[in-house]
Amino acid sequence: MKHLLSIDDLGPVGIEAILDLSESFSEVTQREIPKVPALRGKTVVSLFYEDSTRTRISFETAAKRLSADTMSFTISSSSVKKGESLLDTVQTIEAMGIDAIVVRHHAAGAPHRIAQWTDASVINAGDGRHEHPTQALLDCFTLRRHRGPSLAGSRIAIVGDIRHSRVARSNVKAFAALGAEVTLVAPPTLLPESLAGWPATVSYDLDAVLPDVDVVYLLRIQRERAEASRFPSLREYTSRYGLTVERAARLKPDVLVMHPGPMNRGVEIAAEVADGPASLVREQVTNGVAVRMAVLYSLLGSSSAYPRVDGMRPTHARSTDAPKEGAR
């Protein structure tokens, strides 16, 4: 696999391979020296056309823990301000000799376009309303750790602004690929025009869905959406779709609560719930580093002579010293 642009690039087998790999890196991140030399000499550039703290820092931490060099490119302090085109920017970065570009862009499809322009590996760190595949992977990893090796039969409600959410798109695909039953919960105005092809059911009524679910995944509600008349007010949104303390009390005892951050405490999630025992929010952030290490390692750790899409699982049928299989 050369790029990670969409969850579709992986499929169920590829997702599980990344999650298995993440287990190894999760152990690395817990060491006293949380660093391995795996990607020594590789250079990873983060190219962020949109504000982000956690995703950018998470990727940079992941790259550093693999001993890769990192460069950061943010539009506020770059020649994009002077009107440089995306193509020119990418070509400039590439001319410096780099191995991977981590892209966040407000336009859906920008990472795909960049992938056509460059020999480097491109990782989609969020493009418009389209996809955010590493978020989906870290959420799957976090859930798998709590709900056993498989998500088969897990009932997951994704609640909030599905319409504008790239997290929802990637997560629905990834959760469904691992066998979970996904329900989207939102007011009609915050759902996409068409849900054809989405492996999920839809409900407008959070209270009807909550008693049956194993996982509540809340999405960030942006104030601008209220101003755009998607819903009357934040208060009204909270009263119908927020995970308030009262609603949380009606959940199953072993339910898990997730949020991709940044949270609007008191809007889509009550502070008491966000900090409560069911919340996996901090764990999601921690796991993000290990999962992004796994993604970087998958893309940069193998030569192009050994493409692997489905062959990423360790196969150990033979028992001689490994190097002879390729590096004589």
Partner 1 sequence: MAAPGAHPASETSTPPDGGILFVQRARVLTAEDLRRAHTRIAHEIVERNHGAEGLVLVGLYTRGVAVARRLAADISGFEGVDVPVGVLDVAFYRDDIGRRSVQPLGPTEIPVDITDRIVVLVDDVLYTGRTVRAALEAINELGRPQAVQLAVLVDRGHRELPIRADYVGKNLPTKATEDVRVRLEETDAGFDDSIEVWGPPDAAPVAPPGPEVGA
Interaction site with partner 1 (CB under 8 A): 21, 23-24, 26-28, 31-33, 35-39, 66, 297, 300-303, 305-306, 308, 311-314, 316, 318-328
**In the complex, minimum distance from the CB of residue 269 to partner 1, in angstroms, rounded to a whole number:** 32
Give min distance, CB of 125 to partner 1, in A. Answer: 23
Task: Quote the crossing angle between the two packed helices 166-177 and 133-147, to the nearest 10°.
Answer: 40
Interacting residues of 128 by C-beta distance below 8 A, sequence separation 6+: 105, 106, 107, 108, 109, 110, 166
Q: Which of 270-275's residues contact partners 24+ apart within 8 Å by CB, and which partners? A: 270/242, 270/243, 270/244, 270/245, 272/245, 272/248, 273/243, 273/244, 273/245, 273/248
Check if the beta carbon of residue 26 is closer than 8 Å to that of residue 287: yes
Of 50 and 283, which CB lies nearer to partner 1 in the complex structure? 283
Question: In one letter, which amino acid is 85?
Answer: S
Residue 98 CB, nearest distance to partner 1 (Å)? 15
Q: How far apart are CB 290 and partner 1 at their closest, in Å? A: 11
Helix H or strand E encompassing 105: strand 100-105
* Secondary structure class of 36 (helix, strand, coil): coil
Residue with Cβ nearer partner 1 (233 or 320): 320
Shortest distance (Å) from residue 295 CB to partner 1: 14
Residues 25 and 27: their CA atoms lie apart, in Å, by: 5
Beta carbon nearer to partner 1, 81 or 306: 306
> Closer CB to partner 1, residue 24 or residue 72?
24
Distance CA 26, CA 146 (A): 15
- Minimum Å distance from CB 67 to partner 1? 9
| Identity of the residue, 30 or 189, whose beta carbon is nearer to partner 1 in the bound complex | 30
Q: Which CB atom, from 40 or from 223, has the smaller least distance to partner 1?
A: 40
* Closest by Cα among 284, 307, 300 to 39: 300
For residue 54 the two structure tokens come to 């956690």
Q: Closest CB to partner 1 among 95 and 327?
A: 327
* Shorter beta-carbon distance to partner 1: residue 82 or 318: 318
What is the closest distance, in whole angstroms, from the C-beta atom of residue 313 to partner 1 in the complex?
A: 7
Instruction: Quote the least distance from Cβ 292 to partner 1, whole Å.
Output: 15
CA distance 52 to 167: 14
Query: Cα-flanking dihedrals φ and ψ of residue 104, to 5°?
Result: -120, 130
